[in-house]
Copies of this chain bind each other. A is one copy, B any other.
Amino acid sequence: MDPRVKAAIEGSLDESIRDLQRLCHQPSVGAQNWGILECAQLMRDLLQEAGVSARILPTPNKGNPVVYGELKGTSSNTLIFYDHYDVQPAEPLELWETPPFEPAIRENRMYARGISDDKGHIVARLAAIKALLRVQGRLPCSVKFCIEGAEEMGSPNFVPFVEQNKQLLKADVCIWEAGGVNWEGRPTVNLGMKGILYVELEARTANRDSHSSWGTVVANPAWRLAWALSTLKDQDENLLIPGFYDDVRPPLPLEIDAISRMPDEDEELRQSLQVEGFLKGVRGKEFLRRHLLEPTCNICGIESGYTGSGTKTVLPHWAKAKIDFRLVPNQRYEDILDKLRRHLDSKRFADIKINYSDGENPGRTPIDHPWVRLVADAAMEVYGSEPVIIPTNAGSGPIHCFTDILGIPVATCGIGYPESRIHAPNENIQFDYFTKGVLHTAAVMERLGNLNKTTLTENLHH
Protein backbone atom coordinates (compact mmCIF):
# COMPACT_ATOMS: atom_id res chain seq x y z
CA MET A 1 0.00 0.00 0.00
CA ASP A 2 1.05 3.57 -0.65
CA PRO A 3 2.82 4.41 2.66
CA ARG A 4 1.38 7.94 2.55
CA VAL A 5 -2.13 6.50 2.45
CA LYS A 6 -1.31 4.20 5.35
CA ALA A 7 -0.02 7.16 7.36
CA ALA A 8 -3.03 9.27 6.48
CA ILE A 9 -5.40 6.52 7.64
CA GLU A 10 -3.49 5.96 10.86
CA GLY A 11 -3.69 9.68 11.56
CA SER A 12 -7.40 10.00 10.84
CA LEU A 13 -8.97 8.16 13.77
CA ASP A 14 -10.14 11.37 15.46
CA GLU A 15 -11.94 12.42 12.30
CA SER A 16 -13.63 9.02 12.09
CA ILE A 17 -14.64 9.27 15.73
CA ARG A 18 -16.36 12.57 14.96
CA ASP A 19 -18.21 10.95 12.03
CA LEU A 20 -19.18 8.01 14.26
CA GLN A 21 -20.46 10.40 16.91
CA ARG A 22 -22.68 12.18 14.40
CA LEU A 23 -23.98 9.01 12.75
CA CYS A 24 -24.56 6.98 15.94
CA HIS A 25 -26.17 9.91 17.74
CA GLN A 26 -28.94 9.76 15.16
CA PRO A 27 -31.35 6.91 16.03
CA SER A 28 -32.49 4.86 13.03
CA VAL A 29 -34.53 1.99 14.43
CA GLY A 30 -36.62 0.56 11.62
CA ALA A 31 -38.73 -1.67 13.88
CA GLN A 32 -39.76 1.42 15.84
CA ASN A 33 -39.96 3.69 12.78
CA TRP A 34 -37.60 6.02 14.61
CA GLY A 35 -35.29 8.44 12.83
CA ILE A 36 -35.07 6.60 9.52
CA LEU A 37 -35.48 9.60 7.20
CA GLU A 38 -33.28 11.83 9.37
CA CYS A 39 -30.57 9.18 9.31
CA ALA A 40 -30.85 8.75 5.54
CA GLN A 41 -30.28 12.53 5.14
CA LEU A 42 -27.30 12.51 7.50
CA MET A 43 -25.91 9.49 5.67
CA ARG A 44 -26.16 11.34 2.38
CA ASP A 45 -24.43 14.38 3.92
CA LEU A 46 -21.55 12.26 5.26
CA LEU A 47 -21.05 10.70 1.81
CA GLN A 48 -21.07 14.14 0.20
CA GLU A 49 -18.57 15.48 2.73
CA ALA A 50 -16.24 12.60 1.86
CA GLY A 51 -16.44 13.60 -1.79
CA VAL A 52 -18.93 10.97 -2.89
CA SER A 53 -21.85 12.13 -4.99
CA ALA A 54 -24.87 10.90 -3.05
CA ARG A 55 -28.65 10.89 -3.19
CA ILE A 56 -31.63 9.36 -1.47
CA LEU A 57 -33.65 6.89 -3.53
CA PRO A 58 -37.16 5.66 -2.70
CA THR A 59 -37.90 1.95 -2.49
CA PRO A 60 -41.13 0.20 -3.62
CA ASN A 61 -44.14 0.02 -1.28
CA LYS A 62 -43.00 3.21 0.49
CA GLY A 63 -40.19 1.27 2.12
CA ASN A 64 -37.28 2.93 3.89
CA PRO A 65 -35.15 4.79 1.32
CA VAL A 66 -31.75 3.69 0.05
CA VAL A 67 -28.82 6.10 0.18
CA TYR A 68 -26.96 5.76 -3.09
CA GLY A 69 -23.49 7.16 -3.77
CA GLU A 70 -20.87 7.04 -6.51
CA LEU A 71 -17.41 8.33 -7.25
CA LYS A 72 -15.37 7.55 -10.32
CA GLY A 73 -11.73 6.61 -9.90
CA THR A 74 -8.64 6.22 -12.07
CA SER A 75 -9.74 2.74 -13.09
CA SER A 76 -13.27 1.98 -14.26
CA ASN A 77 -13.15 -1.21 -12.18
CA THR A 78 -16.07 -0.57 -9.89
CA LEU A 79 -16.52 -1.62 -6.29
CA ILE A 80 -19.99 -1.38 -4.72
CA PHE A 81 -20.34 -1.23 -0.96
CA TYR A 82 -23.49 -2.81 0.41
CA ASP A 83 -24.29 -1.41 3.88
CA HIS A 84 -27.30 -0.33 5.91
CA TYR A 85 -27.97 2.73 8.02
CA ASP A 86 -30.82 1.23 10.04
CA VAL A 87 -30.10 -0.43 13.40
CA GLN A 88 -31.64 -2.96 15.79
CA PRO A 89 -33.82 -1.70 18.67
CA ALA A 90 -31.64 -0.80 21.67
CA GLU A 91 -33.81 -2.57 24.25
CA PRO A 92 -33.24 -3.72 26.98
CA LEU A 93 -32.05 -0.19 27.78
CA GLU A 94 -31.21 -0.92 31.42
CA LEU A 95 -28.33 -3.17 30.37
CA TRP A 96 -26.46 -0.36 28.58
CA GLU A 97 -23.61 1.20 30.55
CA THR A 98 -24.13 4.46 28.64
CA PRO A 99 -27.22 5.44 26.62
CA PRO A 100 -27.33 3.64 23.25
CA PHE A 101 -27.65 6.81 21.16
CA GLU A 102 -25.03 8.82 23.08
CA PRO A 103 -21.78 7.38 21.67
CA ALA A 104 -19.21 6.95 24.45
CA ILE A 105 -15.51 6.08 24.44
CA ARG A 106 -14.07 3.78 27.10
CA GLU A 107 -10.64 2.12 26.98
CA ASN A 108 -9.95 2.01 23.26
CA ARG A 109 -13.54 1.17 22.45
CA MET A 110 -16.53 3.20 21.37
CA TYR A 111 -20.05 2.20 22.37
CA ALA A 112 -23.39 2.91 20.67
CA ARG A 113 -26.29 1.09 19.08
CA GLY A 114 -25.37 0.32 15.48
CA ILE A 115 -21.71 1.34 15.80
CA SER A 116 -20.56 -2.08 14.60
CA ASP A 117 -23.74 -3.14 12.79
CA ASP A 118 -23.40 -1.30 10.51
CA LYS A 119 -22.54 2.41 10.92
CA GLY A 120 -18.90 1.79 11.85
CA HIS A 121 -18.36 -0.09 8.61
CA ILE A 122 -19.76 2.82 6.62
CA VAL A 123 -17.53 5.33 8.41
CA ALA A 124 -14.55 3.02 7.76
CA ARG A 125 -15.32 2.99 4.01
CA LEU A 126 -15.44 6.80 4.10
CA ALA A 127 -12.18 7.02 6.06
CA ALA A 128 -10.41 4.94 3.41
CA ILE A 129 -11.87 7.08 0.61
CA LYS A 130 -10.96 10.34 2.34
CA ALA A 131 -7.37 9.21 2.92
CA LEU A 132 -6.97 8.04 -0.69
CA LEU A 133 -8.42 11.29 -2.06
CA ARG A 134 -6.33 13.41 0.31
CA VAL A 135 -3.05 11.70 -0.61
CA GLN A 136 -3.61 10.70 -4.24
CA GLY A 137 -6.26 13.21 -5.34
CA ARG A 138 -8.30 10.45 -6.96
CA LEU A 139 -9.50 6.99 -6.07
CA PRO A 140 -7.59 4.08 -7.65
CA CYS A 141 -10.91 2.41 -8.56
CA SER A 142 -14.48 3.57 -8.97
CA VAL A 143 -16.89 3.11 -6.06
CA LYS A 144 -20.62 2.98 -5.52
CA PHE A 145 -22.55 2.91 -2.25
CA CYS A 146 -25.84 1.12 -1.77
CA ILE A 147 -26.86 1.80 1.83
CA GLU A 148 -30.29 0.44 2.62
CA GLY A 149 -32.59 1.34 5.51
CA ALA A 150 -34.43 -1.87 6.38
CA GLU A 151 -31.80 -4.59 6.67
CA GLU A 152 -32.66 -5.27 10.32
CA MET A 153 -36.28 -5.85 9.27
CA GLY A 154 -35.40 -8.47 6.64
CA SER A 155 -34.94 -6.00 3.72
CA PRO A 156 -38.60 -6.34 2.66
CA ASN A 157 -38.44 -4.05 -0.40
CA PHE A 158 -34.84 -4.50 -1.40
CA VAL A 159 -35.27 -7.17 -4.07
CA PRO A 160 -37.65 -5.07 -6.23
CA PHE A 161 -35.44 -2.01 -5.61
CA VAL A 162 -32.42 -3.88 -6.95
CA GLU A 163 -34.38 -5.26 -9.88
CA GLN A 164 -35.54 -1.76 -10.80
CA ASN A 165 -32.04 -0.30 -10.48
CA LYS A 166 -29.82 -2.91 -12.09
CA GLN A 167 -28.06 -0.36 -14.29
CA LEU A 168 -27.45 2.08 -11.45
CA LEU A 169 -26.04 -0.65 -9.19
CA LYS A 170 -23.88 -2.21 -11.91
CA ALA A 171 -20.41 -2.92 -10.54
CA ASP A 172 -17.62 -5.45 -10.87
CA VAL A 173 -17.27 -6.50 -7.26
CA CYS A 174 -19.02 -5.98 -3.93
CA ILE A 175 -17.85 -5.49 -0.35
CA TRP A 176 -20.54 -6.69 2.01
CA GLU A 177 -21.49 -5.18 5.34
CA ALA A 178 -19.90 -6.68 8.47
CA GLY A 179 -16.77 -8.83 8.69
CA GLY A 180 -13.61 -8.25 10.70
CA VAL A 181 -11.43 -10.45 12.87
CA ASN A 182 -12.09 -13.73 14.70
CA TRP A 183 -11.27 -14.68 18.31
CA GLU A 184 -7.61 -15.12 17.37
CA GLY A 185 -7.45 -11.66 15.79
CA ARG A 186 -7.15 -13.20 12.31
CA PRO A 187 -9.03 -11.40 9.54
CA THR A 188 -12.05 -13.19 8.09
CA VAL A 189 -13.44 -13.02 4.58
CA ASN A 190 -17.09 -14.07 4.31
CA LEU A 191 -18.34 -15.10 0.91
CA GLY A 192 -21.98 -15.89 1.36
CA MET A 193 -25.16 -16.05 3.40
CA LYS A 194 -27.91 -18.55 3.78
CA GLY A 195 -31.42 -17.84 2.59
CA ILE A 196 -34.37 -17.76 4.93
CA LEU A 197 -38.08 -18.48 4.84
CA TYR A 198 -39.89 -17.25 7.96
CA VAL A 199 -43.54 -18.22 8.38
CA GLU A 200 -46.12 -18.57 11.10
CA LEU A 201 -48.23 -21.73 11.13
CA GLU A 202 -51.68 -21.07 12.53
CA ALA A 203 -54.29 -23.62 13.56
CA ARG A 204 -57.79 -22.50 14.53
CA THR A 205 -60.63 -24.79 15.47
CA ALA A 206 -63.60 -23.42 17.43
CA ASN A 207 -64.62 -19.81 18.03
CA ARG A 208 -63.55 -19.92 21.70
CA ASP A 209 -61.78 -22.03 24.30
CA SER A 210 -63.66 -24.95 25.86
CA HIS A 211 -63.38 -26.98 29.05
CA SER A 212 -60.68 -29.58 28.51
CA SER A 213 -63.12 -32.45 29.09
CA TRP A 214 -64.35 -31.78 25.53
CA GLY A 215 -60.98 -33.07 24.28
CA THR A 216 -62.70 -36.31 23.35
CA VAL A 217 -64.76 -34.69 20.60
CA VAL A 218 -63.62 -31.11 19.93
CA ALA A 219 -60.53 -30.65 17.73
CA ASN A 220 -57.55 -29.15 19.55
CA PRO A 221 -55.40 -26.72 17.50
CA ALA A 222 -52.35 -27.37 19.70
CA TRP A 223 -52.50 -31.06 18.80
CA ARG A 224 -52.90 -30.22 15.14
CA LEU A 225 -49.88 -27.95 15.29
CA ALA A 226 -47.74 -30.48 17.18
CA TRP A 227 -48.65 -33.18 14.67
CA ALA A 228 -48.03 -30.88 11.71
CA LEU A 229 -44.64 -29.77 13.06
CA SER A 230 -43.59 -33.36 13.65
CA THR A 231 -44.15 -34.07 9.93
CA LEU A 232 -41.72 -31.29 8.94
CA LYS A 233 -38.55 -32.66 10.51
CA ASP A 234 -37.78 -35.96 12.20
CA GLN A 235 -35.95 -36.57 15.46
CA ASP A 236 -32.74 -37.11 13.49
CA GLU A 237 -32.97 -33.62 11.97
CA ASN A 238 -34.02 -34.77 8.49
CA LEU A 239 -36.42 -32.40 6.78
CA LEU A 240 -39.44 -34.43 5.62
CA ILE A 241 -41.04 -31.99 3.19
CA PRO A 242 -40.95 -33.72 -0.21
CA GLY A 243 -38.42 -32.04 -2.47
CA PHE A 244 -36.90 -29.89 0.29
CA TYR A 245 -33.36 -31.04 -0.58
CA ASP A 246 -33.90 -31.24 -4.36
CA ASP A 247 -32.10 -28.01 -5.17
CA VAL A 248 -29.36 -28.26 -2.57
CA ARG A 249 -26.10 -28.08 -4.47
CA PRO A 250 -23.61 -30.46 -2.80
CA PRO A 251 -20.68 -28.68 -1.11
CA LEU A 252 -17.81 -28.05 -3.50
CA PRO A 253 -14.34 -29.47 -2.76
CA LEU A 254 -13.07 -25.90 -2.36
CA GLU A 255 -15.74 -25.18 0.25
CA ILE A 256 -14.87 -28.33 2.19
CA ASP A 257 -11.22 -27.36 1.92
CA ALA A 258 -11.90 -23.82 3.19
CA ILE A 259 -13.82 -25.21 6.14
CA SER A 260 -10.97 -27.57 6.97
CA ARG A 261 -8.76 -24.47 7.35
CA MET A 262 -11.18 -22.60 9.61
CA PRO A 263 -10.52 -22.62 13.36
CA ASP A 264 -12.89 -24.81 15.36
CA GLU A 265 -15.51 -23.00 17.40
CA ASP A 266 -17.69 -25.80 18.73
CA GLU A 267 -15.99 -26.29 22.10
CA GLU A 268 -16.23 -22.57 22.89
CA LEU A 269 -19.94 -22.56 21.98
CA ARG A 270 -20.54 -25.77 23.89
CA GLN A 271 -19.16 -24.25 27.07
CA SER A 272 -20.90 -20.94 26.52
CA LEU A 273 -24.34 -22.58 26.08
CA GLN A 274 -23.58 -25.26 28.67
CA VAL A 275 -24.73 -28.09 26.44
CA GLU A 276 -23.40 -31.63 26.45
CA GLY A 277 -22.95 -31.74 22.71
CA PHE A 278 -24.46 -30.79 19.39
CA LEU A 279 -27.07 -32.26 17.09
CA LYS A 280 -25.97 -35.50 15.44
CA GLY A 281 -22.86 -35.40 17.65
CA VAL A 282 -20.97 -33.08 15.29
CA ARG A 283 -17.64 -31.61 16.42
CA GLY A 284 -14.75 -29.74 14.85
CA LYS A 285 -14.87 -29.44 11.07
CA GLU A 286 -17.97 -31.63 10.92
CA PHE A 287 -19.68 -29.07 13.16
CA LEU A 288 -18.62 -26.20 10.87
CA ARG A 289 -19.59 -28.06 7.74
CA ARG A 290 -23.03 -28.89 9.05
CA HIS A 291 -23.57 -25.44 10.50
CA LEU A 292 -22.48 -23.49 7.43
CA LEU A 293 -23.48 -25.71 4.55
CA GLU A 294 -26.67 -27.52 5.61
CA PRO A 295 -30.21 -26.13 5.42
CA THR A 296 -32.53 -26.62 8.39
CA CYS A 297 -35.80 -25.65 9.97
CA ASN A 298 -36.07 -24.02 13.41
CA ILE A 299 -39.03 -23.33 15.71
CA CYS A 300 -38.62 -19.73 16.87
CA GLY A 301 -41.73 -19.75 19.00
CA ILE A 302 -44.92 -21.63 19.73
CA GLU A 303 -48.00 -20.64 21.72
CA SER A 304 -51.42 -22.00 22.56
CA GLY A 305 -53.86 -22.09 25.46
CA TYR A 306 -52.97 -21.56 29.10
CA THR A 307 -49.31 -20.90 29.78
CA GLY A 308 -49.47 -19.36 33.27
CA SER A 309 -48.50 -21.03 36.51
CA GLY A 310 -50.44 -23.96 37.96
CA THR A 311 -53.14 -25.77 36.07
CA LYS A 312 -56.07 -24.77 33.90
CA THR A 313 -58.15 -27.46 32.24
CA VAL A 314 -58.76 -25.76 28.95
CA LEU A 315 -59.06 -26.78 25.32
CA PRO A 316 -57.63 -23.85 23.33
CA HIS A 317 -59.15 -22.62 20.07
CA TRP A 318 -55.98 -21.42 18.38
CA ALA A 319 -52.31 -22.33 18.23
CA LYS A 320 -49.42 -20.65 16.45
CA ALA A 321 -45.83 -21.51 15.72
CA LYS A 322 -43.19 -19.27 14.15
CA ILE A 323 -40.65 -21.22 12.15
CA ASP A 324 -37.71 -20.33 9.97
CA PHE A 325 -36.03 -22.38 7.30
CA ARG A 326 -32.36 -21.62 6.62
CA LEU A 327 -31.66 -22.27 2.96
CA VAL A 328 -28.51 -22.97 0.97
CA PRO A 329 -27.75 -22.65 -2.76
CA ASN A 330 -29.71 -23.35 -4.92
CA GLN A 331 -32.85 -23.50 -2.78
CA ARG A 332 -35.42 -20.74 -3.34
CA TYR A 333 -37.71 -19.57 -0.56
CA GLU A 334 -40.80 -19.27 -2.80
CA ASP A 335 -40.29 -22.87 -3.87
CA ILE A 336 -39.91 -24.06 -0.25
CA LEU A 337 -43.07 -22.14 0.67
CA ASP A 338 -44.97 -23.96 -2.11
CA LYS A 339 -43.58 -27.30 -1.04
CA LEU A 340 -44.51 -26.62 2.59
CA ARG A 341 -48.10 -25.88 1.59
CA ARG A 342 -48.34 -28.99 -0.57
CA HIS A 343 -46.80 -31.10 2.18
CA LEU A 344 -49.25 -29.88 4.84
CA ASP A 345 -52.17 -30.46 2.48
CA SER A 346 -51.01 -33.99 1.73
CA LYS A 347 -50.63 -34.77 5.45
CA ARG A 348 -54.24 -33.74 6.20
CA PHE A 349 -53.26 -30.31 7.46
CA ALA A 350 -55.04 -28.22 4.84
CA ASP A 351 -56.67 -26.41 7.78
CA ILE A 352 -53.32 -25.06 8.98
CA LYS A 353 -52.74 -21.59 7.66
CA ILE A 354 -49.27 -20.43 6.61
CA ASN A 355 -48.75 -16.75 7.36
CA TYR A 356 -45.73 -15.69 5.31
CA SER A 357 -43.39 -13.22 7.03
CA ASP A 358 -40.01 -13.01 5.31
CA GLY A 359 -38.07 -14.66 2.54
CA GLU A 360 -34.55 -14.25 1.22
CA ASN A 361 -32.64 -16.48 -1.15
CA PRO A 362 -29.14 -17.77 -0.37
CA GLY A 363 -26.05 -16.47 -2.16
CA ARG A 364 -22.39 -17.48 -2.29
CA THR A 365 -19.36 -16.28 -4.17
CA PRO A 366 -17.14 -19.04 -5.60
CA ILE A 367 -14.03 -19.43 -3.47
CA ASP A 368 -11.75 -19.46 -6.50
CA HIS A 369 -13.05 -16.16 -7.83
CA PRO A 370 -10.16 -13.69 -8.34
CA TRP A 371 -12.05 -11.17 -6.19
CA VAL A 372 -11.70 -13.49 -3.21
CA ARG A 373 -7.95 -13.80 -3.79
CA LEU A 374 -7.66 -10.02 -4.08
CA VAL A 375 -9.50 -9.36 -0.82
CA ALA A 376 -7.51 -12.11 0.92
CA ASP A 377 -4.19 -10.82 -0.34
CA ALA A 378 -5.08 -7.31 0.82
CA ALA A 379 -5.94 -8.73 4.24
CA MET A 380 -2.62 -10.58 4.37
CA GLU A 381 -0.84 -7.30 3.60
CA VAL A 382 -2.67 -5.34 6.33
CA TYR A 383 -3.03 -7.91 9.12
CA GLY A 384 0.16 -9.88 8.42
CA SER A 385 -1.68 -13.17 8.66
CA GLU A 386 -3.54 -15.35 6.21
CA PRO A 387 -7.27 -14.55 6.43
CA VAL A 388 -9.87 -17.17 7.29
CA ILE A 389 -11.97 -17.79 4.20
CA ILE A 390 -15.57 -18.52 5.22
CA PRO A 391 -17.56 -19.98 2.30
CA THR A 392 -20.80 -18.70 3.82
CA ASN A 393 -22.22 -17.24 6.97
CA ALA A 394 -24.97 -19.25 8.71
CA GLY A 395 -27.13 -16.12 8.92
CA SER A 396 -29.24 -14.55 6.19
CA GLY A 397 -29.29 -11.26 4.32
CA PRO A 398 -30.07 -9.86 0.87
CA ILE A 399 -26.74 -11.07 -0.54
CA HIS A 400 -28.43 -12.92 -3.42
CA CYS A 401 -29.43 -9.48 -4.79
CA PHE A 402 -25.73 -9.03 -5.59
CA THR A 403 -24.49 -12.57 -6.24
CA ASP A 404 -27.53 -13.62 -8.26
CA ILE A 405 -29.64 -10.66 -9.43
CA LEU A 406 -26.70 -8.36 -10.21
CA GLY A 407 -24.19 -11.17 -10.76
CA ILE A 408 -21.41 -9.57 -8.70
CA PRO A 409 -18.91 -11.44 -6.49
CA VAL A 410 -19.18 -10.51 -2.82
CA ALA A 411 -16.66 -10.56 0.02
CA THR A 412 -16.26 -8.85 3.38
CA CYS A 413 -13.63 -6.44 4.60
CA GLY A 414 -14.72 -5.21 7.99
CA ILE A 415 -14.04 -3.67 11.38
CA GLY A 416 -15.95 -6.12 13.63
CA TYR A 417 -14.55 -8.40 16.29
CA PRO A 418 -16.19 -11.17 18.35
CA GLU A 419 -16.96 -8.87 21.29
CA SER A 420 -18.76 -6.27 19.15
CA ARG A 421 -22.07 -7.34 20.76
CA ILE A 422 -24.13 -6.60 17.70
CA HIS A 423 -27.92 -6.71 18.34
CA ALA A 424 -27.10 -6.66 22.09
CA PRO A 425 -26.55 -4.01 24.78
CA ASN A 426 -23.16 -2.22 24.80
CA GLU A 427 -22.55 -2.73 21.10
CA ASN A 428 -19.05 -1.44 20.37
CA ILE A 429 -16.06 -1.21 18.10
CA GLN A 430 -12.41 -1.49 19.08
CA PHE A 431 -10.25 1.27 17.58
CA ASP A 432 -7.32 -0.97 16.55
CA TYR A 433 -9.63 -3.23 14.59
CA PHE A 434 -11.42 -0.19 13.16
CA THR A 435 -8.18 1.18 11.75
CA LYS A 436 -7.19 -2.24 10.42
CA GLY A 437 -10.55 -2.39 8.63
CA VAL A 438 -9.95 1.04 7.05
CA LEU A 439 -6.49 -0.05 5.89
CA HIS A 440 -7.91 -3.26 4.47
CA THR A 441 -10.53 -1.29 2.54
CA ALA A 442 -7.91 1.05 1.10
CA ALA A 443 -5.67 -1.89 0.18
CA VAL A 444 -8.58 -3.58 -1.57
CA MET A 445 -9.30 -0.41 -3.57
CA GLU A 446 -5.65 -0.02 -4.55
CA ARG A 447 -5.47 -3.62 -5.77
CA LEU A 448 -8.78 -3.39 -7.59
CA GLY A 449 -7.55 -0.32 -9.44
CA ASN A 450 -4.52 -2.28 -10.65
CA LEU A 451 -6.48 -5.34 -11.80
CA ASN A 452 -7.10 -6.27 -15.42
CA LYS A 453 -10.87 -6.17 -15.80
CA THR A 454 -11.09 -9.45 -17.72
CA THR A 455 -9.59 -11.29 -14.74
CA LEU A 456 -12.63 -10.28 -12.74
CA THR A 457 -15.38 -11.47 -15.01
CA GLU A 458 -14.05 -14.69 -16.47
CA ASN A 459 -14.53 -16.72 -13.35
CA LEU A 460 -17.99 -15.87 -12.03
CA HIS A 461 -20.75 -18.46 -12.08
CA HIS A 462 -18.62 -21.38 -13.05
Contacts and interface: CB of A to CB of B under 8 A. Distances in A.
A302 B302 contact: yes
Interface in A328-370: 348, 357-358
Interface in A191-248: 194, 196, 198, 205-208, 210-220, 222-223, 225-227, 229-230, 233-235
Given A210-B273, A235-B348, A216 B294 contact: yes
Given A194-B213, A278-B218, A279-B219, A300 B273 contact: no
A310 B322 CA distance: 9
Nearest to A277: B219
30 contacts: A154-B311, A194-B213, A198-B313, A206-B274, A206-B275, A211-B395, A212-B300, A213-B393, A214-B291, A214-B394, A215-B296, A218-B269, A218-B279, A220-B298, A220-B299, A222-B299, A222-B321, A223-B229, A223-B299, A226-B299, A298-B315, A299-B304, A300-B314, A300-B315, A301-B306, A301-B312, A302-B305, A306-B322, A307-B322, A313-B324
Interface string A99-116: 000000000000000000
A198 B313 CA distance: 8
A311 B30 CA distance: 13
A320 interface: yes
Nearest to A312: B300
Contact of A316 (B227, B300, B306): B300
Contacts of A300: 212, 305-306, 311-316
Nearest to A206: B273
A194 to B, nearest CB: 7
Nearest to A215: B298
Given A235-B227, A273-B207, A275-B205, A296 B394 contact: no
A282 B214 CA distance: 13
